[in-house]
Each structure stands twice: as structure tokens, then as C-alpha cells.
Structure 1
Amino acid sequence: MSGYRDLLRAPGVARIIAAQLAARLPSGMLALAVLLHVEHIHHSYGAAGTVLAATSIGQAVAGPVTSRWMGRWGMRRVLVATTLVTAAAIAALALVPAPLPVTILFGLIAGLASPPVQSAVRTIYPKMVNASRLTALYSLDASLQEIIWIAGPVLITFVSTQVSTVVGLLMIVAVTLAGGLWFILSPELGRVRIPRSRRSFGRVLRTPTVILTTVLGFLLIGATSAAEAGVVASFGEGALESGFILAVFAVGSFVGGLAFGNIPMSPWSMARRFTIVAAGIALTLVSLNAWWLGGSLALAGLGIAPVLAMSFAITSASVKFSETAEAYGWINTGQLIGAALGSAVAGFMIDGVGARGAMLTSFAFVLVGLIVAAVFVKGFPDLRHRDASPIPDTEPVQTHP
């Protein structure tokens, strides 16, 4: 922990971490808020699911695009524009009585305009700390983001159910604007300029590490989403057991990220970290007892943040600095698609065979992830004897005889 304390004492690190967590907090609230609000207005979970799907599709499509725009127009310009548009779209969802197709459009716009905060901050990190401390910073980031997924749903559920769904959505608008402003005004955004990429859009996916981390992010988040659905199905949506178990799942990830943060990463580290997740998910198949599930998912959680931290580090080490933002955008898109597909498949399995079907779905996702990490181990860089700094961008220099 002393290493993390020293890391947070580095100039600007604690500030930029806090600012980006505040800017990203709405991502832990929006899905649930939209679901509750649209169901309340249109009296249909099908309608609510359709709007939520449109929002998720918008986020998945926008991720790599808006991330790449930061290299063309600058981080602050892109973040200001996307923050204002997504806030306006969410406000429209809350305040404008509209037929379902228009509501779907509002959700799609909110998703398409999602500010690329994750891509921005992970592109900034290599310019803030000594290269030898970069992997620890990625691990700290991956651990602390669990705060978003613990605090966000609890806060929005309380406000939306105890006050109103309109107030819940307007609270998200306020947090989006306040957190976004804090992050946008961070001095580091003015000091770091992302060079404009010279390669065409999507070419970064030809880098083996980027495609591997995108696929593995899809499989990991698909597994966690299916497991979360299985927990809710086991005890009911409002049960105390569900909240407790999901909180333990997140705490396990938080602890795992910090514990693994300073361990050097070899090409086999990804498979080892997936093994921890797979072992925990496999144990959930033994029993759906609350205490057993809590212990099993706490074990699984120990591997989640370490997998994400390694994904960020090896991506950074494998691409040029001008391509890091787009690369992280693709990784985020993979995770969003994984979350949607994992939840959808788990839902069908719950309807067919019960909560255990969701856990089987989760185990299938994570097992495929483990196999991919092991089979394609040569696609991961060895960071045991090098840092995770991006490859410098170089340009031809004109010389005169």
C-alpha cells in the first residue's frame, strides 16, 4: 500500500483519478435509471429494454470514434461537446413527454455522445508518472472504478424509487455536467496533446494485442454480467442477499487489483488471472446458497480488476501514443457488447433452467476467455523487463545536403 500512497502523491495523480471517477459515475447509474424511468412512463419492460438497448448500441458505436476524434480536435473540445450533448439527451428523456420512437432516439443520442473519459485518462496516464510505475497506476485505476459500480446503482435506485425517476435522471445530468467539468478543467488535459493518427480508422485493430484485449474484455464483462443476472435471479431483485453478494463481488475485484498491481506481467499473466475468475465462477455451480455464492464470487472478483489492468497496460505498450485513445475505445466497445450479450443470454437461460443457467453462461464466457488467453499467449508483450509506455510517434525529418 505504501507504493500506492507514493503513486497518489505524484503531481496531479490523485486529482485526475478523482476527477475521472466523478465524470464516469453516471455510467454506473444510467442503465438502471433509464430502465426504471421508461418502464414507469410506458408501463412496459419491453419498451424500457428497447431504449436501453439503443443507448448501449450508441455507446458501443461511439467509443472508438469519439476517442479517435480527440487526436484530431483535442481532448477538451471533444469532451465538452459530448458532455453537453449527452446531458441534453438525458434531460430530454426526463422532461419531454414523447412517444416510444422518440424516446428511443433520445436514448440513442445519449449513448452516441457518451464522453470518452476512459480513453482520455488512460492516454494521459503515461505522461504523468515514471514509466516503471505505470502498471501500478493502471491497476489502481481498475480497482477504483469499482466505486462507480457500487455507489452508482445504490444511489440511483434510492433516488428513483424514493423520490421520482425524473429526479433520478436529472441527478445524472447534474453529475455528468459537474464531473465532466471537473475532468475537463484538469490541468493535465491542457498539458497532454494526442498526436493525430496517420493510420486510417480501425487499423489499430490489426495490432494483435488490441484485438486480443478487445475480445478478452468482451468475454470477461460478458461473464460478470451473466453472473450478476444469476445472483439477482437467485434471490429476487430487491433482496438484501443480492445487494450483499454483488457488493462482495466488487470488493473482491477492488482487493485483487491492488494486490496484483505491483506484480510484473508476463505473457502468461493474463491466463493466470482468468484462471482465478474461472475458479470462482465454477464454484458458483456447486450451490446457490447466499454465503457460498458470496465466497465464490469474492474469489472470482480477485481476478477481474487484474485482468482489466493488464489489458490497459499491454495495450499501452503495444501501440503508438497517437493510437492509444482509439485502442481504448475499441476495448470499451468490446466490454459494452459483452455486457449486453452476457445479460441477454443469461436471461434466456434463467427463463429456461433457472438461476443456475446464468452461472453456466458466466462460466462458459470466462472459460472461453481463459482458452483464448492461453492459446494466443504469444500475442501478449512481456512487461517483466520493460515498462508499459506507448511506442513514441516518429515523423520523417527533412535533411539538407
Structure 2
Amino acid sequence: MAGAGAGYRELLRTPGVGRIIAAQLTARFPNGMTSLAILLHIEHVTGSYGSAGLVLAATSIGQAIAGPVTSRWMGRWGMRRVLTITLAICALSITGIALLSLPLPAYMALGLVAGLSTPPVQSAVRTIYPKMVTSKQLTPLFSLDASLQEIIWIVAPVLITFVATQVGTVPALLLIVVILIGGGAWFILSPEVGRVRIPRSRRGIGKVLTKAPVLLATVVGFLLIGACSAVEAGVVATFDHGGLEAGLVLAVFSVGSLAGGLVSGRIPISRWAMARRLAIVTVGLALTMVSLNVWWLGGTLVLAGIGIAPALAVLFAMTSASVKFSDTAEAFGWVGTGQLIGAAAGSATAGFLIDDIGAAGAYFAATAFAAVGLLVAIVFVRGFPDLRHRDASPIPDTEPVPTIR
């Protein structure tokens, strides 16, 4: 751990790295708040969780569609322009949901627009990273990024739930708008966002998925985040709809992921790296089914969490290393869409099983998602790049043309 810590200190001393990490985490902070705030607000306004679920579904569909599309637009019109326009539309949509009294279809339409206009900060920053650090530093940077994003999932839901329940759902949504604008502006105005230009892709949209590592990253991301969402639903169901124990258990789940990501940052990524890391997640989740005692669940979820950020780091590194620089933003957009759909699928599957057999069903669903991800990583291991002796930098768009002597 000491060696890893020294490596991260050196990484953060690289000009601009600490600032861009802080800016993008702030800009993405609403990602951990918006769904919960919309759910609580629409339920409060309509008196129906079903109606709230429909608005939330519309928002999620919008986000899933937008991922690869808005990410690709950054290569056509520039990062700052796309980020600024999407930020403005998203902020206005969430403000409309907060302040306007509307029929359910109109709330769903605003939710869809908010999802479609979610600023592609994640795709942008992971496209910028290879241009900021040396090739040897890129994999540790992806690990640090995957670890630190756990802060969003630890702090944001607790903060927005407190504001929504203690102050009101309208102030909660308006707080999201303030953070969205402030964090988004900080990221957009970062010098690196203006300095890095993504070349316009010459390939049709979706063609990047013909690259095996990108398709595998999208599928495995779907399954991994599906497992995490099922766990969240299970924990809430286990501890009476979000009591103190639920918050603490979910927090230690994220803390395990944060610790795992920081420790694994300097470990070279082989073809089997994903399978090893998903094995940790699968074993930890399988053990949750032994007992629903708070201490047992906390311990097993810490174990499962240790594999999550390291697995995400492999996803980011393999995606970056497998495509041309002009395709990186779109590739990360597809990976993000896979994760969003996985989150919805995990929550829905867990919900049905909770209704049918109780909270234990959610942990069974989580284990199943993780186990299928592990199976994919084993069966298609040759599709995962071996990055032990190469860096995770994207393939240059212009390569030397071999000449005949």
C-alpha cells in the first residue's frame, strides 16, 4: 500500500491532474443524487411510487440513449460546446420538474429530456486522461478515478435524502441544479477541456462495438453494475426501507470498493485480471445469502466491494487501449450506457424477487449478475487485452505508413 500511495502522490503532482479529478467528481456528483431526488419528489407530488418510477424510467432511458450520442458529438463540435449546451438543457429540465405543477406525462417528458441532456463528463474526462499523464501513469489514474468515484455513491445519496426529508423535495432538486451548474462550469472551464481536441470519427456510430474489448467492457459493466444495484435494493429491503443500518451497510460496501481500487492501482492488468477481480465480487456476494444479520452483511459486502473499483479500472483501461483516440469518447459512452441499463435491470430483477421471496432474493440476483460476469470474463478471456507490457493509451489516429525499401 505504501508503494501505491507514493505512486498516487506522484500522479497527483502532475500538473492539472488533481484539479481535473476534483472538477469532474464535482460535476458528476449530481449523478448520485438525481434519481433519488426525482423519485422522492414525484412520489410527494403524486402520492404514487408507481408514477415516480415511470418518471425515473424515462430519465434512465434518456441517459442510456444519450451516452454514446453526446459523447460522439464532442468529436464533431468540441467538448466545451457539447458540455455547455447539455448542461444548460439538463439544468432547465430538472428546474422544471422541481417548480412546475404538471400532469404525469409532462413530468415523464421532462425526465426524458433531463436524461438525454446529461452532460457527458465521464466520457470527456476519460478521453482527456491519456493526454495528461505518461503512459505508465494511465492505468493507476484509471484506478484512482474508479476508486474516488465511490465518494459520489457514499456521500451524495445521504446528502440528498437528508435535504429532501428535512427541508423538502423542491430544495433538494434545486440543490442538484446548483451543483450541476457549479461543478459543470468548473470542469468546462478547466484548461485541459479546451486544450484537448477529439478528432472527428470516420466510423459510423456503433461501429466501435465491433471491437471485442469495447463490447466486453459494455457487457461486463452491465452485469457488474446490475449486481451493485441489486445489492442496494436488497439492503434497503432488509433494513426497513432505508434505516440507519441500510446507510451504514451501503457505505461500507463503497468503502471496500474505494480501498480495493487504491490498493490495486499499481497491479499490471493481464487477460485474467477481470476474472480475478470479479471472482472476489462473486464470492463476497454469494456469502451474503448465508445471513441477513447486519454485521455479516457488512463484512461480506466489504469483501465484495474490494473487487468492484479494480474491475471498473480494468474496464476503463481496456476500453481506452483498444480504440483510436477519435473513438474513445463514444466507446466510453457505450460502456456508460451498459452500466445504466445494468443498474435498471439489477434494480428491477431484485424488486421482483423481493416481492416474491423477500430480501434474500435481491442478494441471489446480485450473485447471479456477478457470476454471469465472471463466466463471461473466463469464457472470453482472449478478448481482454494483456496490458502488462503496454500502456492503456488509445491507438493514435495517424500512424506511420510502412514503406518498401
Q: Normalising by the residue count of structure 1, what TM-score does the alignment of the two structures yield?
A: 0.98
How many angstroms apart in 1 are the aligned matches of 2:185 and 2:146?
Answer: 22
The corresponding residue for 1:217 is 221
2:10 counterpart letter in structure 1: D
Counterpart for residue 164 of structure 1: 168
The answer to whether residue 358 in structure 2 is matched with residue 354 in structure 1 is yes
The equivalent of 1:242 in structure 2 is 246
Deviation sequence 1:54-112 (CA, Å, 0-9, x none): 00000000000000000000000000000000000000000111111101101000000
Aligned to 2:398: 394
> Which of 73, 87, 100 lines up with 1:69 in the alignment?
73
> Which of 105, 120, 131 in structure 2 is aligned with 1:116?
120
Aligned-residue RMSD, C-alpha: 1.1
Q: Which residue of structure 2 lines up, in the alignment, with residue 128 of structure 1?
A: 132
Quote the residue 1:309 is aligned against.
Answer: 313
- 2 CA distance for matches of 1:315 and 1:112? 23
Letter in 1 for 2:356: G
1:326 is aligned with what amino acid? E
**Letter of the aligned partner of 2:377 in structure 1?**
A
Structure 1 residue 151: Cα displacement:
1.1
In structure 1, C-alpha distance between the alignment counterparts of 2:120 and 2:176, rounded to whole Å: 17
- The residue matched to 1:27 in structure 2 has which SS? helix
Q: Distance in 2 between matches of 1:366 and 1:292?
A: 19
The separation in 2 between residues aligned to 1:327 and 1:21, in whole angstroms, is: 20
For each residue in 1:289-347, what CA deviation from the matched residue of structure 2 results, as whole angstroms up to 9, or x when unmatched? 10000000000000000010010001111000000000000000000000001000100
Tell me which residue corresponds to 1:21: 25
CA distance in 2, matches of 1:182, 1:310: 28
Is 1:53 the counterpart of 2:57? The answer is: yes
Write out aligned runs for 1:149-188 (5 A): 149-188=153-192
d(CA) in 2 for partners of 1:101 and 1:191? 42
Q: How far apart are the structure 2 equivalents of 1:43 and 1:337?
A: 26
Q: Read off the aligned partner of 1:194 and give its amino acid letter.
A: I
Task: Structure 2: give runs of 5+ residues left out of the alignment.
Answer: none
* 5+ residue gaps, structure 1: none
- Alignment partners' CA distance in 2, 1:396 and 1:195: 17
> 1:295 aligned to 2:299?
yes
> Residue 236 of structure 1: CA displacement?
1.2
The CA distance in 2 between the partners of 1:395 and 1:294, in whole Å, is 50
Q: Deviations over 1:365-401 (max 9, x none)?
A: 000000000000000111110110100002799x9xx
The residue number in structure 2 matching 1:139 is: 143
SS at match of 2:308: helix
1:89 aligns with 2:76: no
Task: Work out the CA distance in 1 between the residues paired with 2:63 and 2:194.
Answer: 25
Question: What secondary structure sits across from 2:200 in the alignment?
Answer: coil
Structure 2 residue 196 is the aligned partner of structure 1 residue 192: yes
Instruction: Using the aligned pairs only, state the percent identity.
Output: 69
The secondary structure found in structure 2 opposite 1:46 is helix
1:190-243 CA-to-partner distances (Å, cap 9, x unmatched) read 110000001011000000000000000000000010011111111112311111
The 2-side partners of 1:373 and 1:149 are apart by: 26
Number of the residue aligned with 1:382 = 386
